[in-house]
Amino acid sequence: MAHVVIDGQMLTVKMSRWERLGAQHRDVTVPLAAVTAVSTTEDPWTIFDGIRAPGTGIPGVIMLGTLRSKGSKTFCAVYRHGPALVITTTDPAFARLIVSASDASEQAAALSAQLDVT
Amino acid sequence: MSPETTSQGSTQHGAGARLASFLRSRWRGAVRFALAITVADGLAILVFGHVAATYFASFCVVALLYFCDFDGGLPQRVAAYGLASILGAAGVVLGTAVAGSIWLSIGITIVIAFALTIARSLFGLVARSVVALQISVLIAVMVPSRWSSLLPSLGAWALGSVIALAAALLVFPRPPRRQISQGLADWADAAARLALVAHHDGDVLAARRQLISAQMQLRTMAMTDQNRPGWIGRRSRLIGEMVEAASSVTAVIATLPAPSNLRVPQDELSSACEEAFLWMAAVLRGDLDQDESPAPAIGHLRHVDLDRSAAWLARVAISSPDQAIRGIEDHRFTRVLSMGASNLVNLVQRLEGITPQEPNLELAVLEDPRRVLSSQLSSESLWFRHGVQAAIAMGAAVWIARSLGFAHGFWVVMSALGLVHVSFTASETQRGALRAAIGTAVGVGIGVVGLQLHGGLLLAAVLLPFTALAAKVLNGNDPLLSQGGYTVFAIVNTLVLGWPARSDILEARLIDVLVGLAVTVVAMTLVYPRGPARLLAICGQALEAALAEARVGLGMLLRVGAEAADDAAEASSALMVALTRFSAARTPFLRQHQDDGPVPGAQLERRARQMMVGATAIGDLAATPDPPANVSAIAGEFADLDAGLGDRVARRLRSVPEELLEHPGASVSALWAAWWFDLGSASLDEPTVDQPSGDR
């Protein structure tokens, strides 16, 4: 399952082969310096905005891939209704990264501490 | 009816014999490959460690001994392996040069996939060698290789080349070709006997039955010895041409009635035929040294025989035009045998590496590689269509694997490569394609699950030679077994090379294979969605059209002389191109349908070849310095496509007997040409011992 890792000065959303196929995208990597905020949401389906292209989406079940809205893109790796990490960036590729995680709050806290951002 | 279908018992016997023949022809190559791949992997890991470069050493052996596996004499094989090794090394450099850019990688993959497929229409060692180039480029592109690792990659490729060459020269170096050679020698013995008894009033019918029987046995042997399409070496191709030539002579002889007592003097030609067939049999059995006993010359005697036939016709026509024409018709028996003898002696000489002194009588398909290749650059060519399919499928596979960042993504490409020559839409080939896809998936399952259960590098290394052995034995067999065998071997091989295996290896390989299969299915469904059966039909229609045009063009040449020579030459050239394309389409069809009995299209191909022989006779007639006054009437007959041309021409000649006396040479040519066209119009079945069509 997709998860967020920090390797050196880069933050990466790592995916399995199935997820890469579904998202039609390789692992997403952004510079740590581009991350401006890390937060969580209890139901990411309420904050989705735009059209998914390319990727795989079934409402309420799976949202894998790129969501395009006016002027920005969001990369999602979300399964069913449940907590997810929301990472906001200034990277030109993606303005937000939304990744399902059962322990989203703990991960957000750890990431924030590591990034020294709030 | 072939021997395999006469009864259930003989069917089983035929299947058993085919299996035994199949295994006999493959176990040597399998042992050679298994040994070489084990040594190559071991040495590569020892020298380079578990890095990407080792893949080049290992897959060099796969390219040279699994895919190419050249046959022929020692110098030919050394040259062929050397060429393939050099092409592969060039592929390593080329692939490394473009690997940094996804789009360049896709572009070069597309170009090479298309070029390789088209090159397979050449059916030669060069065409086979290109597979090394393709494999080395694909590995370099998919790893992806970097300039900094170019030297180790080239070193690994060189190591693989040396090991493969050493194995090819030291481990069972002689190719097993003796069975078909023996069958051809038996056929030549029967043909020599027929030439003898036809001349000395022996039992011609019995001798002809022996010839047909020898031909049926030869055909059975050839069916069990078909090579993978496009991977046929020069020697195999020549043997295949000899089988076809023997088949053609037998089919024509079977249509002829036994000769009567009306004889054109033919002592010398009959003796030369007998001598030529006996010479052929002795050379094929290895009982004759060509330096001590050179090939008999027949070409000059055939020209002399034509003059004698004309003189005999003029002499006999004084008293009886009917008997004169009947005698010329009877003489076809010896003329056909002499053509066959001349052709086959020519082919045997080429097989033994000797340049024939006499030109090939039968106007064969195009041989100039540039013309062969250009004849395939048409949407009517099977190889062109498969080239476009392969290019799109391979390009898409590289794009997906690279753009999604699949580690060891060459598995996606290799899966696509295995299926890319199978069409998915023609009902006849759907089953084969499905079996190949299932074979790949099952191979992945067996290979990965087996190693997951028991694990360990040592086990993988022990399994490597056995899986290699099985893969090579199964290569070219049923698509399921062939793909399954290769996939199990490839999984074990890549596990050995890339140890330690990742925990998600099963999932990764399954996804790679599924993606490769999906890409290929989509490409082949959307691009030129036709299977070999339908493509063969399309090529057949084009050949029929070319036949009709050539016939009209040659009729025009006959009627208005030199003014129509260009049109006739153009029509003949178009016929040759259509025949080349049709023959190229028939080869893969043969491969897929070798157990389905008589090959569709064989009659059409034979008909086209007969048409071309008839064309040479028309050329002779048109070039006659003093053509008969009734030549335009004869030409009119040639423009008519209906059968019975020989009868009509003979009737014309009988109606003006003085023409027979004044222009006997032209009359013989007209009768000869008309008869060949009649053969072309008739649908000649494969003759059987029980019922040669000449006896009906």
Reported as a single tens digit per residue, the pLDDT across B636-691 is: 666 664 667 777 778 877 777 777 777 777 778 778 777 777 776 665 555 555 55
Give me the number of domains chain A comprises.
Answer: 1
Please report which confidence band the pLDDT of residue B2 belongs to, taking 50, 70 and 90 as the band edges.
very low
Give the whole-angstrom CA distance, residue B581 versus residue B378.
Answer: 9
With an 8 Å Cβ cutoff, is B27 touching chain A? Answer: no
Give chain B positions within 8 Å (CB) of A16.
504, 507
Please choose, from the candidates B29, B11, B56, B3, the residue with its C-alpha nearest in 3D space to the C-alpha of residue B493: B56
Whether residues A26 and B403 touch (CB distance < 8 A) is answered with yes
Q: What is the pLDDT of residues B304-345, one digit of tens each?
A: 888 888 888 888 878 888 888 888 888 888 888 888 888 888
By mean pLDDT, which of B53-62, B256-265, B624-633 is the weakest?
B624-633
Mean confidence (pLDDT) of chain B: 75
Residue-level pLDDT at B22? 64
Tell me which chain B residue has its CA closest to the CA of residue A26. B404
Residue B297 has pLDDT above 70, yes or no: yes
The distance of B160 to chain A (nearest Cα, Å) reads 31
pLDDT of residue B111: 92
- B51 vs B367, higher pLDDT: B51
Q: What is the mean pLDDT of residues B237-251?
A: 81
Evaluate if residue B692 carries a pLDDT over 80.
no
Q: Which of A27-36, B514-523, B528-537 is the most confident on average?
A: A27-36
Overall pTM surpassing 0.80 (yes/no) = no
d(CA B187, CA B277): 9
CB A88 within 8 A of CB A36: yes
Nearest alpha carbon to residue B153 among B33, B85, B51, B66 = B51
Residue B288: band (very low, low, confident or very high) from pLDDT cuts 50, 70, 90: confident
**pLDDT score of A107 more than 80:** yes
Q: Which chain A positions have a beta carbon within 8 Å of B508's beta carbon?
A: 17
Which of the 8 DSSP states describes residue B148?
G
Nearest-angstrom CA–CA distance, B287 and A9: 78
Minimal CA separation from A19 to chain B, in Å: 10
The mean per-residue pLDDT over the stretch B559-563 comes to: 61
Calpha distance A18→B67 (Å, rounded): 32
What residues are paired with B245 via a beta bridge?
none
Through-space distance between the first and last CA atoms of chain A, rounded to whole angstroms: 26
Residue B627: pLDDT over 80? no
Interface-testing mutation among B399, B402, B404, with chain A (most A C-beta atoms within 10 A): B404
Contacts of A24 in chain B (CB under 8 A): 404
Which chain B positions have a beta carbon within 8 Å of A65's beta carbon? none
Supply the pLDDT for residue B690.
54
Res. B156 pLDDT band, cuts 50 70 90 = very high
A62-69/A72-79 β-pairing: antiparallel
State whether B507 and A17 contact (CB < 8 Å).
Answer: yes
* Interface membership of B4 toward A (CB under 8 Å): no
- B507–A16 C-beta distance less than 8 A: yes
How sure is the predictor about B588, in pLDDT bands with cuts at 50, 70 and 90? low
Residue in chain A nearest B405 by alpha carbon: A26
With an 8 Å Cβ cutoff, is B517 touching chain A?
Answer: no
Q: How large is the average pLDDT for residues B148-176?
A: 86
pLDDT score, position A98: 93
Smallest CA–CA distance from A22 into chain B, residue: B404
User: Using CA atoms, how far apart are residues B629 and B653, in angstroms rounded to an integer?
Assistant: 11
Tokens 């929301």, residue located: A86
Residue B8: pLDDT band with limits 50, 70, 90: very low
Nearest CA distance, A75 vs chain B (angstrom): 15
Least CA distance to B402: which residue of chain A?
A26
Question: For residue B682, what is the DSSP state?
Answer: S
For A65, which residue in chain B has the nearest alpha carbon?
B404
Chain A residues whose CB is inside 8 A of the B511 CB are 17-18, 21
Our CA-based measurement puts residue B508 at a distance from the nearest CA of chain A, in whole angstroms, of 6
Measured between CB atoms, which of B405, B508, B511 is closest to A26?
B405
What pLDDT score was predicted for residue B163? 94
Nearest-Cα distance to chain A for B142, in Å, is 15
| Sequence-distant contacts of B630-636: CB under 8 A, at least 24 apart | B630/B656, B630/B659, B631/B558, B631/B559, B631/B666, B631/B670, B632/B559, B634/B558, B634/B670, B635/B555, B635/B556, B635/B558, B635/B559, B636/B555, B636/B559
C-alpha–C-alpha distance, residues B287 and B279, integer Å? 9
Residue A102 exposed, middle or buried by CB count within 10 Å (0-12, 13-18, 19+)? exposed
* CA dist B308 → B200, B299, B302, B358, B650 (Å): 19, 14, 10, 21, 19
B519 close contact with A: CB closer than 8 A? no
**Residue B177 has what pLDDT?**
57
**Most B-contacting residue of A3, A14, A17, A28 (CB-CB within 10 A), to test interface:** A17
A116–chain B nearest CA distance, Å: 30
C-alpha of A91 from chain center: 13
CA distance A50 to chain B (A): 23
What pLDDT sits at residue B650? 80
pLDDT of residue B378: 76
Q: How far is A99 from A76, CA to CA, in rounded Å?
A: 6
* B404, B508, B515 member nearest A26 (Cβ): B404
CB–CB contact A24 B404 (8 Å): yes
Residues of chain B above pLDDT 70, percent: 68
Q: Which residues contact B250 (CB under 8 A, 6 or more apart)?
A: B187, B211, B212, B215, B687
Contact A20 B504 (CB under 8 A): no
Chain A residues with at least one Cβ partner in B under 8 Å = 16-18, 20-21, 24-27
pLDDT higher than 50, residue B471: yes
**Residues of B whose CB is below 8 A from A21:** 404, 511, 515
Q: Which residues in chain B are contacts of A27 at CB distance < 8 A?
A: 405
Taking an 8 Å cut-off on Cβ atoms, the answer to whether A17 and B403 are in contact is: no
Which pLDDT band, with edges at 50, 70 and 90, does B383 fall under?
Answer: confident
Q: How many CB atoms lie within 10 A of CB B450?
A: 17
Query: Band of the pLDDT at A75, cuts 50, 70, 90?
Result: very high
Residue B406 near chain A (CB below 8 Å): yes
Mean pLDDT of B108-125: 78
Domain range enclosing A7: 3-115
Strands A96-100 and A72-79: parallel
Residues of chain B with Cβ-Cβ distance to A26 below 8 Å are 403-405
CA distance B544 to B578: 9
Q: Which chain A residue shows the shortest CA-CA distance from B509?
A: A17
By CA distance, what is B505's nearest residue in A?
Answer: A17
